[in-house]
Structure 1
Amino acid sequence: MSALSGKVAIVTGSGRGLGLAYAQELARQGASVIINDVNQEVADTAVASIVEHGGQAAAVVVPVGTTEAAQALVKGALHTFGRLDILVTNAGILRDKSILKMTDEDFDAVINVHLKGTFTCVREAYAYFKENGVAGRIVTIGSPTGQRGNFGQTNYAAAKAGIVGMTRTWALEMKKAGVTVNAVIPVAATEMTRTVPFFQKAVEAQDRGEAMPDFFRKDLGFGTAEDVAGLIAFLASDAAADINGQAIGAGGDRLQLWSHPEAVESAFHDGGWSFEALQNGYPFAGKSQSVGEKFPELPEELRPEVAK
């Protein structure tokens, strides 16, 4: 039997891209999968891609964010397959703009789908798990932007950082019920990264059906959606029963365990740190933590054509 035989999974935002790769791998490992997208045709095509390879899948077309959408997803799994064991909260959108150009609508839309959508879906799935004694598996999806920040992504960074924060909290709350909650930080070629010049040669290689150059897969830990899917399926399996509350990065040939935020320096001052005390000697001068992702320099042969 396959690792996930008899299990039922919901993968939000799984009509294409990373979400579809996750759903296909869960199905390959034996799970029946609820595909979720906002477009019926896209969802149906995704379902067909699983069924034609011998898997089981069905679509629930609904925009993630509301409690009603979360209820529809869980009801869809129970109605179609009779149970629920796994939830992967992948659905998301982008509205990238620098802060002075970002509107309330830009901010709210991203927060609603990523952050509230994760919250409502997890709450609904956990209610089912707890009521029915299911030692379920929940995998949330973070981002390097949520871990490090990125120019022009205030809304996305807030949502993804919030998701990891919720994941750690849920790991504590759900542990007694035997439910695990982990976050995956994917680094992969998607429609979001296709237009980034830095990744041009990697995306071009993928489009040609060729392996990405080692620089991307090894030095950057950047690969395909399928490179991330194995971790999703593993965390959804019984083999990962003792892994909980973790943020794990996956991309290319690299796997990473992200640290939880910890104080890196401490300083003490009798009577506390007044303005004057800090003015006379800020104890962390020269020790500021970096922000944003730092990439190694691209080798000459892998630089985008426009940069040569």
Structure 2
Amino acid sequence: MSLDGKVAIVTGSGRGLGLAYAQELARQGAAVVINDVDADTAAEAVAGIESAGGKAVAVVAPVGSSDTAKELVRTAVDTFGRLDILVTNAGVLRDTVLWKMSDDDFDTVIGVHLRGTFTCVREAATYMRENQIAGRIICIGSPTGQRGNFGQTNYAAAKAGIVGMVRTWALELKKAGITANAVIPVAATAMTATVPYFAAAVEADAAGDPMPAFYRHDLGFGTSDDVSGLIAYLASDAASGVTGQAIGVGGDRIQLWSHPEPVVTAYRDGGWTYAALEDEFPAVIGDHAQSVGERFPALPEDLQRP
């Protein structure tokens, strides 16, 4: 097994995508620290891994604070002797449009996703550096963080921030041999279950049937298990040369997201005054204005729902 002898923490791993990640890491030989805010959910996840022959322990605590981050790392080391892998998956949603979003809506999502990723990675990376472990940091992003999405100011900010931190950590941790990457999953989750466009795929997944090829191939939309293989790969020694990347995966598709680069560059002697921009900006930008949000093709008729 590729991760035999390794120890991993997966935040938000009591159910859904996080549980799939933890189960795959365990299948590949890693001992896993499960994390959830619900004790029964966490215990069930641990029992499932152990019944399949794996090793797991639970930490029941909300991600975000430094105290939780310390408890996660301490539990990994005290229970299994070390820490090699951290997957920051924990998250919550508080979706609403900008003018209706409260301070609490914003702060809650930022606190769990962005601050929780920061505190957990800081604690794990500190341990890895101090113990000369060439560890693996895997942070979960989202297409929303790459493209934006209506009603998700807080979530978009957090997920975009995570990718920005990953790029920085790849630089800072390189000398220690620690890699840092972001995974952009596209899969059936509690969030996509409420979107009519994905109804046929979510229904198939819930029934244990294969998803229609349109979703798996054309949209790169699949199951939790379709994402977990990439998590395990990035956690392995085989991926020691992969760092600072944002990698999308779902269904039958894998993608490497580009880092932001200028698409147009223009120069003007004397600089760009208001008058100069008024005269020349439209010609400079031309057809290069960047799109926002995700664009999906029309659903085939047989997959449409009333």
Partner residue, 1:129: 128
Q: Give 1:285 shift.
A: 3.4
Give runs of aligned pairs for residues 13-162 of structure 1, distance below 5 A: 13-162=12-161
Partner residue, 1:285: 286
Cα displacement string for residues 86-136 of structure 1 (whole angstroms, at most 9, x for unaligned residues)? 000000000000001000000000000000000000000001000000000
SS in 2 for 1:165: helix
Partner residue, 1:222: 221
Cα displacement string for residues 20-42 of structure 1 (whole angstroms, at most 9, x for unaligned residues)? 00000000000000000000000
Q: Give 1:61 shift.
A: 0.5
1:211 corresponds to 2:205: no
Kept in 1, the 8 Å contact 2:263–2:288? The answer is no
Q: Give 1:270 shift.
A: 1.1
Aligned equivalents of 2:188 and 2:198: distance in 1?
8
* Structure 2 segments unaligned to the other structure (5+ residues): none
Cα displacement string for residues 208-247 of structure 1 (whole angstroms, at most 9, x for unaligned residues)? 1110000000000000000000000000000000000000
Identity in percent = 68
1:303 corresponds to 2:271: no
Partner residue, 1:240: 239
Q: Give 1:286 shift.
A: 3.2
Question: Match of 2:263, as an amino acid?
Answer: V
Q: Give 1:287 shift.
A: 2.1
Cα displacement string for residues 116-167 of structure 1 (whole angstroms, at most 9, x for unaligned residues)? 0000000000010000000000000000000000000000000000000000
1:294 corresponds to 2:295: yes
1:263 corresponds to 2:277: no
Aligned equivalents of 1:262 and 1:276: distance in 2?
27
**TM-score, with length taken from structure 2:** 0.99
Aligned equivalents of 1:55 and 1:286: distance in 2?
54
Aligned equivalents of 2:194 and 2:92: distance in 1?
16
Query: How many residues were matched structurally?
Result: 304
Give runs of aligned pairs for residues 170-189 of structure 1, distance below 5 A: 170-189=169-188
Question: Match of 1:264, as an amino acid?
Answer: V
For the aligned residues, what is the CA RMSD?
Answer: 0.5
Aligned equivalents of 1:285 and 1:226: distance in 2?
43
Aligned equivalents of 1:286 and 1:164: distance in 2?
27
Q: Give 1:177 shift.
A: 0.1
Aligned equivalents of 1:8 and 1:287: distance in 2?
46
